[in-house]
Amino acid sequence: MLSTLSTFDHRRPWFGVARTVLASGQIVLLAFTDPRALLVPVGDQPAAPYCDGVKAISAYCVGGDVLAPSTRHGIMLILLLVVASGFLPRATGIVHAWVTFSIAGSIALPDGGELAAKVVALLLIPMCLTDDRWWHWTRPRSPLRPSARGIAYAALWSVRLQVAGIYLHSGLGKFASSDWLSGTAEYYVLRDNMFGAAGWVRDLGVALMSVPALVFAVTWGSIVLEIAVGVIILCGTDRLRRVALLLVIVFHVGIIVTIGLWTFALVMIGAVAVACLPAAPRGTGRDGTGTALSALRRRLRPDRDPRSPSGIRETTPDPDDGSGGIDSPHSAVVFEQGRR
């Protein structure tokens, strides 16, 4: 842990890509959704936006009726585009958190994507404040100060705990559903009239999900994948986290194709990308795998000297034993005979 912390630096293209993907989820929401659809009243609730309590600082609420909701909608879209561009992370990190808070808190019916984006963007503020680059696509020109490194590393782990909790809660929570336990949930998901697939994707999905073994594999595969991703984010090495990120991308792209949840999918891919940010620079062997393998080799081959180029233990000749420095099981016998 201490050796990783001493070399940790989040200011790399990986962090920039993750922030851009995370912001893209909200960009898709604002760019392709009518502002009136986000503010329509739900059930017995009053018409949105909601501005009670701390929500008064929301971008939908500041200034009262001075600006129309559609104008605020456009301003937030522009701000998110600036965030996604990578310009000045130290400033846009706070802007990103404010916009995601505004969307999640003030629209009529936020989904899981909006709520996750709000929390992750808020947790990213310490990492953004310690990022002194003009663009998050460039590499830093100077090393991080120790205090900034510690703050950013703690923020990274707060994101990991949050994202891992989301996936573990989702995976373990499915055990409370009989459809998921029986392995038939995906059969009904694709046939849902509101969120199910449409067009030729629906026809193909319905045909595939008519095969019992395939339905069971896809349903339980989703459960296993979500639990595995949560565990790997918390306990895995950097190399395993890369594998987890790849699985999450495939998983959520599948959700986009079959259900169409673009915002949720992009937000979760961006959040997992942040959580899987390598803690150790590549090539240092500090991702945990190199150290473990080296220790295993030393246990299996105790006669090998890691300081020797050939790996063979070197010996120093002793002129008194007559063996020329060669270890022999008979050396003790020869020595004893010499004494006699």
Residue pair 184/176 in contact (Cβ under 8 Å)? The answer is: no
46 cis-preceded (ω within 30 degrees of 0): no
Residue 47: per-residue pLDDT: 80
The pair phi, psi for residue 150, each rounded to 5°, is: -65, -40
Residue 337: per-residue pLDDT: 47
Residue 90: per-residue pLDDT: 94
Give the CA dihedral 320, 325, 326, 332, nearest 10 degrees: 30
Q: Splitting the chain (340 residues) into consecutive groups of 10 residues, what average pLDDT does each group show?
A: 74 94 95 89 83 93 88 95 95 96 90 91 96 90 89 96 97 94 89 77 86 94 96 95 96 89 93 92 50 48 50 49 46 45
Residue pair 243/232 in contact (Cβ under 8 Å)? The answer is: yes
Nearest of 16, 276, 32 to residue 138 by alpha carbon: 16
Residue 103: per-residue pLDDT: 94
Residue 2: per-residue pLDDT: 57
**Residue 266 vs residues 1, 246, 260, 274: alpha-carbon distances, Å:** 31, 13, 11, 12
Residue 205: per-residue pLDDT: 84
Residue 332: per-residue pLDDT: 44
Residue 1: per-residue pLDDT: 55
Handedness of CA 208, 209, 211, 216 (dihedral sign): positive
pTM exceeds 0.75: yes
**Residue 284 vs residues 97, 144, 276, 289, 295: alpha-carbon distances, Å:** 33, 18, 17, 11, 16
Residue 144: per-residue pLDDT: 87
